[in-house]
Amino acid sequence: MGGPDMPALLTLLLLLLLLACAAPPRRAAPASPAPRAAEASAAPLLQVLQRREGAPPVVLGTLPGPLRPTGDWVAVPLQPVTDEAQAERLAALLREHAVPALAFDGTPLPAPALFTRLLQRTPLSALDLSDTAASDAHLAALPTLPSLRVLMLDRTPVTDAGLRAALARLGGLEALHVAETEVTDAGLAQLASPEALRTLVLAGTRAGAKGLPLLARLRSLEVLDLSDTALQDAALARLASPSLHTLVLSGTQVRDAGLAHLAGLPALKALGLARTRVSDRGLQHLSGLLGLEALHLHGTRVTSAGLRHLMPLVRLRALVLGDTRVDDGGLARLAGLPLLEQLELDGTRVGDAGLEVLATLPALRELTLSRTRVGARGLVRLSGLRGLRRLGLAGLKLTDASLAALAPLTGLEVLDLSDTPLTPTGLSALAQLAALQELDLSQTGFSDDGAALLAGWKRLRTLKLTRTPVTGLTLQAVAALPALETLHLGATLLRGEELAAGLARLPRLRALELAQLGLTDAQLAMLRPLRALHWLNLALNPIGDAGLTELPGGLHELYLPRTRVTDAGLAELGRLVHLRLLDLRATAVSARAAAPLRRERGVQVLLGPL
C-alpha cells in the first residue's frame, strides 16, 4: 500500500524522467570554515545528509562539530524551532558553515516570523519545504536570499497568491517544484526571471488548464514535469527551450497530434507519455528524436505495429512498454537497439518466443516480464543475460525446475518472484546468487523449509515474504541477515512472542510491513525498540487508539487502513514529528479531525474508502 503506480526499477536517467527531481545547484558548495574551539562541546542543531537517487539519504554527521562536508549536501534541523533564540542560533550556524541547502524532512516548520529569522542573511542556494505546512504566510515571510536557486514546495498548502508574491522577489531561481499543490497557471505568472529557470515541476497541480502561456518564456528550461495535469496538445506548441532534455507528460490529455510539436526539441533525451491516449500514430512523430535515451509508454494505446517508429532511436537506454498491446512480433523490432539497458514489458502479450530478441540486447541490465505470457520454457532464454542486475517475473506460471535457468545470473541484485507457484525446492537453484540485495517472494510457496537459503544472501537489504506460510523459524534466519533494512511479513503465520523475538534482533530496520497479522494494541509494544523505523504498515489489524502510544517516534510514513483508529487517537500521533504520510482509509477517522495534521504539519493524510 502506498506504492507508486510506476515501475520501481529505474536507472538514474529514468528517475529524472519519472520524478523530474531538481538538479543540484550548479556551483559546488564550498567546504565549511574551520571549526571554532567551542564547537566540540556544543549540542548538535543540524543533521547533515547526502541525498541519493532511489536510495535513503546518507547521514554524514551533525553541526556544529568537526564535520566539514563538501560537494552537494543538505542540512536538516534536528528539533523544531520554537523561539527567536533558537532561530538566531540556527541562522548563525547556516552562515558560519556556508550551508548550501536546507530541508525540514519531517521536522515541523517554524512559524512565519521565526522562519524569517532562521533564513535571514544565509547563503542558501536550495530550500526544500516539501511535505511541510509551508503556507502563503511562509512565502510572504521568505527574506531576500540572493543565492537561492532551488525552491521546492511539493505537497504543501501554498496557493497562487503566495507563490506569485514569492516568485516576484526570487530573481535568480533555476528550479521550482510545486507538485501536488493547488497552484494554477496564474500562480506562475509573476516569475521574475523566467529566462533563468532550468527545472519546473508542476506534477499533479491545476496548472495547464489555460495552456501555460509561461512556457513560451522559459527559453533555458531543461526539465519540465507536467504529469497528471490538464495539459492539452496546444500547449506543447509553446515549448521554446532548445535545452529541454527531460519532458514528463504522463497522465495528461496529450494525444497523437500534440507530439508533432516535439520535433523542435533537439536536446530531448527523456520523454514520459505514460497513461496518455497516445497510440501508434503518435509514435511516428518521435522517430526523428534521435537523441532520445528514455521513453515511458506505460498504459498507452501503443501496439506492436507502432514499435517500428522506434527503430531509428538507437540511443535508447530505457524503454517502458508495460500494459500496452505489444506482443512477440513487436518485441522483434527492438533488436536494433544495442544500448538498451532497461526494458519494462509487464502486462504485455509477450510470450516465450518473443524472448529470442533479448540475446541481441547486450547492454540489458534491467528486465521486467511480470504478468506477461512468459512461462517456464521462456526462462531458458534469460540464462545468457549475464549482465542483468534487476529482473521482474511476478505473476508468471513458473516451475521449480525452471529456476535453474537463472543460476548463471550471478550479478542479479534485484529479483521479483512474487505471485508465482515456486517452493524452496526450486529456490535452492538460486543459492549462489550472492549479489542479491532485494528479493520478493510474496505469495509464493516459500516456507520455513527454505529458511536455510537466506544465509547465502548476506547482502539482502529488502526481503518480502507477504502471504507466505512462514513462522518464527524463518524469522530467526531473517534476523541474521546483516544488511537487512526493509522487511514485509504481512498475512504470514507469524504471531505474538515469536514475532516480537525476531523483531528484537532487527533494530536496524527502516521499513516494516505487518499487515493482517491479528496484532493487538498490547502487542505493538514490540515496535518500540525499532528506533530506525521510517516506514510502517499495520493495515488490517484490530488495533485502536491505545496501540498508537507504542509506535516508534521516527516514523515518516504510517499505514493504518482498516484498523480501529478513531479521531481520539490522532492526538497521540502529534508526537511523531517526522510524519509525512498517514494512511487512514477505511477507518472511523473524520476529515475534520485530520485537518490540523494537514494544515499545521503538512502531513499528507489519506481518508475515504480503500
Indicate the pTM of the whole model.
0.89
- 384-407 residues labelled b (16+ CB within 10 A) or e (exposed): ebeebbbbbbbbbebbbebbbbbe
Three-class SS of residue 118? helix
Domain containing 539: what range? 533-610
- Write out the three cell numbers for 530: 525499532
Q: How confident is the model at residue 18 (pLDDT cuts 50, 70, 90)?
A: very low
- Residue 444 φ/ψ, nearest 5 degrees: -120, -175
Q: Do 400 and 451 reside in the same domain of the chain?
A: yes
> What are the respective helix, strand and coil percentages of the chain, to the nearest 5?
30, 15, 55
Q: What letter would DSSP give residue 238?
A: T
User: Sign of dihedral through CA atoms 454, 460, 461, 464?
Assistant: negative
Evaluate whether residue 16 is within a structural domain.
no
Are residue 469 and residue 540 in the same domain, yes or no?
no
Strands (E), 110-169: 126-128, 150-152
Residue 230, pLDDT above cutoff 90: yes
Q: Is the pLDDT of residue 23 over 60?
A: no
Q: Work out the average pLDDT over 272-285.
A: 97
Q: Is residue 267 part of a domain?
A: no
Q: Does residue 255 sit within a domain? A: no
Beta-strand pair 74-77/535-537 = unpaired
Does the CA dihedral 221-290-294-23 come out positive or negative?
Answer: negative
- Do 60 and 141 reside in the same domain of the chain? yes
| Short-list 346, 350, 383, CA closest to 367 | 346
| Together in a domain, 485 and 543 | no
Banded pLDDT at 54 (limits 50, 70, 90) = low
Q: Of 601, 598, 599, 595, which is closest to residue 578 (Cα–Cα)? A: 601
Out of 12-21, 113-122, 526-535, 568-577, pick the least confident: 12-21
Domain count of the chain?
A: 3
Residues 490, 605 within the same domain: no
| 172 or 283, which is more confident | 283
326-382 pLDDT tens trace: 999 999 999 979 999 999 999 999 999 999 999 899 999 999 999 999 999 999 999
Residue whose grid cell is 506482443: 327
498 shares its domain with 545: no
Q: 3-class SS at 527?
A: helix
The cell numbers describing 305, all together, are 505495429
Residues 596 and 538 in one domain: yes
Give the whole-angstrom CA distance, residue 4 versus residue 300: 17
User: Cell numbers of 359, please?
Assistant: 540475446
Do 34 and 140 sit in the same domain of this protein?
yes
Euclidean distance between CA atoms 149 and 28, whole angstroms: 13
Q: What is the pLDDT of residue 41?
A: 45
- Domain end call among 151, 166, 197: 197
pLDDT in tens, 59-69: 899 999 888 88
The band of 39, judged by pLDDT with boundaries at 50, 70 and 90, is very low
Cis, peptide link before residue 561, omega less than 30° from 0: no
In a domain, 472, yes or no: yes
Strand-pair partners of 58: 50
Same domain as 502, residue 558: no
The whole-number average pLDDT for the span 77-99 is 94
**What is the distance between the alpha carbons of residues 273 and 270, in angstroms, rounded to a whole number?**
10
The CA dihedral of 508, 511, 513, 519, to the nearest 10 degrees, is: 50
**418 and 555 together in one domain:** no
Gyration radius of the chain's alpha carbons = 25
554 within some domain: yes
All residues at 6 or more sequence positions from 111 whose CB lies less than 8 Å from its CB, including other chains = none
Asked whether residue 479 is domain-assigned, the answer is yes
pLDDT at 7: 37
Give the range among 12-16, 109-113, 156-160, 296-300 with minimum mean pLDDT.
Answer: 12-16
Whole-number Å distance between alpha carbons of 465 and 483: 17
**Burial of 137 from C-beta contacts in 10 A (0-12 / 13-18 / 19+):** middle
Residue 386's contacts (CB-CB under 8 Å, 6 or more residues apart) are 408, 409, 410, 411
Q: How confident is the model at residue 108 (pLDDT cuts 50, 70, 90)?
A: confident
pLDDT at 452: 95
Question: Is residue 483 in a domain?
Answer: yes
Q: Is residue 217 part of a domain?
A: no
Q: Are residues 36 and 185 in the same domain?
A: yes
Q: What is the pLDDT of residues 533-572, one digit of tens each?
A: 999 999 999 999 999 999 999 999 999 999 999 999 998 9
Residue 221 confidence (pLDDT) above 60: yes
**94, three cell numbers:** 547556516
Max mean pLDDT among 19-33, 168-182, 293-307 falls in 293-307
- Residue 209: what pLDDT? 84
Strand blocks (E) in 507-563: 511-513, 535-537, 557-559
Domain boundary, last residue among 163, 197, 231? 197
The verdict on 556 and 484 lying in the same domain is no
Q: What does the mean pLDDT of the chain come to? A: 91
What is the band of 42 on the pLDDT scale with cuts at 50, 70, 90? Answer: low
How many CA atoms does the CB half-sphere of 332 hold within 13 Å? Answer: 8
Last residue of one domain, picked from the residues 178, 197, 216 = 197
Q: What CATH number corresponds to the domain at position 124? A: 3.80.10
Strand partners, 488: 464, 513
Work out the percent of the chain whose per-residue pLDDT is above 70. 92
Q: Considering only residues 67 and 301, tell me which one the structure prediction assigns the higher pLDDT.
A: 301
Q: Cα(442)–Cα(463) distance, rounded to whole angstroms?
A: 9
- Helix/strand/coil for 290: coil
Query: Exposure of 52 by Cβ count < 10 A (0-12 exposed, 13-18 middle, 19+ buried)?
Result: exposed
Q: pLDDT of 386-424, one tens digit each?
A: 999 999 999 999 999 999 999 999 999 999 999 999 999
